[in-house]
Structure 1
Amino acid sequence: MESNYNFEKRSRIEQAKSEVKKLKGFYSHLLVFVVINLMIVVINVQALDSGESYFQFKNFFTLGFWGFGLLIHGLSVFLPNWILGKDWEERKIKELMNRYRKQ
Structure 2
Amino acid sequence: MEPNYTEAERYYEAQKKVKEIRGFYGHLTVYLLCNPIVIVVNLMTSPGYLWFIWCLLGWGVGLISHGLKAFEFSPFFNKEWEERKIREILEKENKPTWK
What's the TM-score once normalised by structure 1's chain length? 0.68
Structure-2 residue corresponding to 1:22: 20
Q: Distance in 1 between matches of 2:88 and 2:8?
A: 23
Pick one of 23, 28, 31 that aligns with 2:29.
31
Q: Which has the larger radius of gyration?
A: 1
1:88 aligns with 2:86: no
Tell me how far 1:86 sits from its aligned partner.
5.0
Q: Quick check: which one's helix share is greater?
A: 1
RMSD over aligned Cα atoms: 2.5
Q: Give the alignment partner of residue 57 of structure 2, picking from 52, 64, 69.
A: 64
**CA drift at 1:85:** 4.7
Same amino acid, percent of matched pairs: 33
User: TM-score under structure 2 normalisation?
Assistant: 0.70
Q: Among 7, 22, 25, which residue is 1:9 paired with? A: 7
Of residues 53, 73, 86, the one that matches 2:66 is 73
1:38 aligned counterpart, secondary structure: helix
* Offset, 1:66: 1.0
Partner in structure 2 of residue 42 of structure 1: 40
- Runs of 4 or more above 6 Å deviation: none
Q: Structure 2 unaligned runs (5+)?
A: none
* Aligned mates of 1:65, 1:81 — CA distance in 2: 19
Q: Cα distance, 1:62 vs. partner?
A: 0.5
Question: Which moved further from structure 2: 71-80 or 23-32?
Answer: 71-80
Tell me, in whole angstroms, the C-alpha distance in 2 between the residues paired with 1:18 and 1:80. Answer: 16
